[in-house]
Amino acid sequence: MTTDSSPQTIEELLVGRDDVMILGDPSVRCTDALPLRDAGPGCVTLIDASARANLVIRCGAVAVVTATPIETLHCTQIVTKDIHGVFTHLVKAFRPRGHDSLAYSAIHPSAQIDPTASIGSGTRIDSGVTVGPGVVIGCNCHLMPGVVVMEHSRLGDDCTIFPNVVIYEHTRIADRVRVHAGSILGGHGFGYRQVHGRHVPTAQLGYVDIEADVEIGANVTIDRGTYGVTRIGEGTKIDNLVMIAHNCHIGRHNLICSQVGIAGSCQTGDYVVLAGQVGLADHVTLGDHAVVGAQAGVMENLAGDQTYLGSPATSQRDQMQIMAVQRRLPELRREVKTLRRELGNLRQPATDSSESAEASELGDSGPVASEMPSGGDETASGLGGERRSNADAVDTEEDSREQPRCLPFRRPAA
């Protein structure tokens, strides 16, 4: 990316900075300030490790911000302990942000401000902004185009509301809050009850309370409480595309990454981290300093000071063991098949020996039967004959059942 501003010297860019030491030519001209991956010829860039010095040479940057001097670099070096602070200063010099500091306070003629609303000094309201009755906006705020602030909402000092944000009625926003484009604060919660087989919305009479120093990303939705408050704690940072349902209480200094979904009446402690696409079931509580890994599904309360992974979410230790076993499943399956085959081979000789033992027992019973008295012989022969006749009858019946019956053919009469 290149800027429209004319090249500036390192000396001009660092006027007023007494926390830097320039090694090399301070009059070298720079066309842009870009990170190392994007930098090209004429740029000033940033390096946080001397091992990456070869990348600076390869990109052709004319100057570099570094924490310590690097002997292998022959370009101008800006040595400072606060490398990120100095580089931020350089980037802003090439790409200034109008909303970082209000150059003036004004209300655009196209803005619709209710007469009962109160606007603090130094506040700037851009075109197309709508401010409802009873709204109170603090000092040095900036409401960008298309913002809607509904009745009886309150904004503290030094707030920045980006374009097309909608703030529903009775929402409370403390000092130094930033809400990025397209976010909706205070919308109705997803609550219904069945009446005569139809879904009827429940009461949505609560509000949203955003405490100081919170930053809310783009296209975030935070629903109002059913009767009470949905609260976002002080210093919490919320990424883009996050959904926070009604009656939730988010603790202080949480980090909530993109596409997280938090169901109703959840509560998080302080310094909780929810990675991307985490989902929380309703009425779940997370302890202080809990960390939930990406795409985890939280179905029950989790204690603090631990890291959780997976769905359903379990402790990192347990989840690692589960993952290790899952990776071995194909191998374990092969082992089970091999063991079953070997077990079958072991059972086969045992079966053969049992059959031979039964045969020998039957052979031994022959002489014993021959020693029976004559009366016994007659009886045995009579029983044997009766059994044979019954067996023959059964065989005959089965044969007749199996063989199809043939009907004689008769020539029809002429």
Residues taking part in catalysis: 246
Is residue 406 exposed (0-12), middle (13-18) or buried (19+ Cβ within 10 Å)?
A: exposed
With a CB cutoff of 8 Å and minimum separation 6, the contacts of 41 are 59, 60, 61, 62
Nearest to 136 by CA among 154, 120, 122, 151: 154
Nearest to 231 by CA among 222, 243, 242, 219: 222
Tell which phi-psi region holds residue 221, choosing left (phi > 0), alpha (psi between -120 and 50) or beta: beta
End-to-end CA distance of the chain, in Å? 108
C-alpha to C-alpha distance for 259 and 221, rounded to whole angstroms: 11
Radius of gyration of the chain (CA): 42
* Helix/strand/coil percent split, the chain, to 5: 25, 25, 50
**DSSP string computed for 340-381:** HHHHHHHHHHHHHHHHHHHHHHHHHHHHHHHTS-HHHHHHHH
Ranges of H-type helices in 181-220 = none
> What b/e string do you get for 304-314 counting C-beta neighbours within 10 Å, with b at 16 or more?
bebbbbbeebb
C-alpha to C-alpha distance for 79 and 70, rounded to whole angstroms: 10
Full 3-state SS string of 214-280: CEECCCCEEECCCCCEEEECCCCEECCCCEECCCCEECCCCEECCCCEECCCCEECCCCEECCCCEE
